[in-house]
Amino acid sequence: MDFVLNLCDEYVLDRVWAKLVPLSAFVSSPDVANSFNLTSTGLPLAASSSKWSQLMLSLPRPHLTAGDVTSFSTQGISQVSAWPRDYVPRQLVSLIVVTLLGIYVLYFLFAGLSYTFIFNHDMMRHPRFLKNQVKLEIQTSMRAFPMMTLLTLPWFQAEVMGYSRLYDGVDTYGWTYLVLSVPL
C-alpha cells in the first residue's frame, strides 16, 4: 500500500492536500509571514477572516518552524500542504480515500463483468428471486465497504509506517523465509 500511496501522493494527493490544508494557513513566524505576504496571524491577507481560515486553524498540524517553511520557497507556499506526507492524519485520510476508491472500482468492474458474462439471468425468473434483488445486493455491498475499509486501515497504516514483514526482494530474508512464510 505504501507504493500505491506514494504514487497517489506524487500525481494527485500532494496538490489536493495543498488546497485543503495549505501551509500558508499555519505560518506564524513574522519574518516568514512577511516574506510570503502573510498577515501576523499566519493567514493569507485575502483569507484572514474567512470561515475557511478558522477551520484551518482548528485542524491538527505538525510543528512547523521558519526553516521548514523557507525550505518550500522554491515551490511557493501556496503549493505546499501543512500536512507533510509522513504526517499520520494525512496518511489515514489518504488511505481511506484510496482504499474506498479502489474497492468501488474493483467491485463495479468485476461485478459488472460477472453479471454480464457469468450470472445466470434465468434465475431472475425464479419465484424466490426478489423484484429488486440485484439493486439490494449492490446497495448492501456499498454500505459494507466503509466498514471494510476501517477494518483494513490499521494494517495499511502499519505497512506504510514500515511495521510489516513485506519485502521487495527474496534477498532480504532469503528463500527459506519465502517458502515457510506461506504455510506458517
Q: For residue range 129-140, list pLDDT tens digits in order.
A: 888 999 999 999
22: region left, alpha or beta (phi > 0 left; psi from -120 to 50 alpha): beta
Q: What is the pLDDT of residues 39-91, one digit of tens each?
A: 434 444 444 456 766 666 666 666 655 555 555 554 566 678 888 899 999 99
Within 10 A of 53 (CB to CB), how many other CB atoms are there?
Answer: 20
3-state DSSP call for residue 44?
strand
Handedness of CA 8, 9, 10, 16 (dihedral sign): positive
- Give the position of cell 477494518: 151
What is the H or E stretch that residue 35 is in? helix 30-35
3-state DSSP call for residue 43?
coil
Among the residues of 36-174, which ranges form H helices?
51-58, 66-70, 88-117, 133-160
Q: What is the pLDDT of residues 148-166, one digit of tens each?
A: 999 999 999 999 998 887 7
Is 145:107 a contact under the CB 8 Å cutoff? yes
Look at residue 48 in the predicted model and tell me its pLDDT. 47
Position 30 confidence tier, pLDDT thresholds 50, 70, 90: very low
Q: Please check the confidence at residue 32 and state whether its pLDDT lies above 60.
A: no
Rounded distance between C-alpha atoms, residue 140 and residue 131, angstroms: 15
Look at residue 69 in the predicted model and tell me its pLDDT. 54
Query: Measuring CA to CA, which residue among 22, 76, 74, 86 is closest to residue 50?
Result: 22
Structure-model confidence comparison of residues 172 and 14, the more confident one: 14
Q: Please check the confidence at residue 94 and state whether its pLDDT lies above 60.
A: yes
Domain ranges of the chain: 22-37+47-82, 88-161
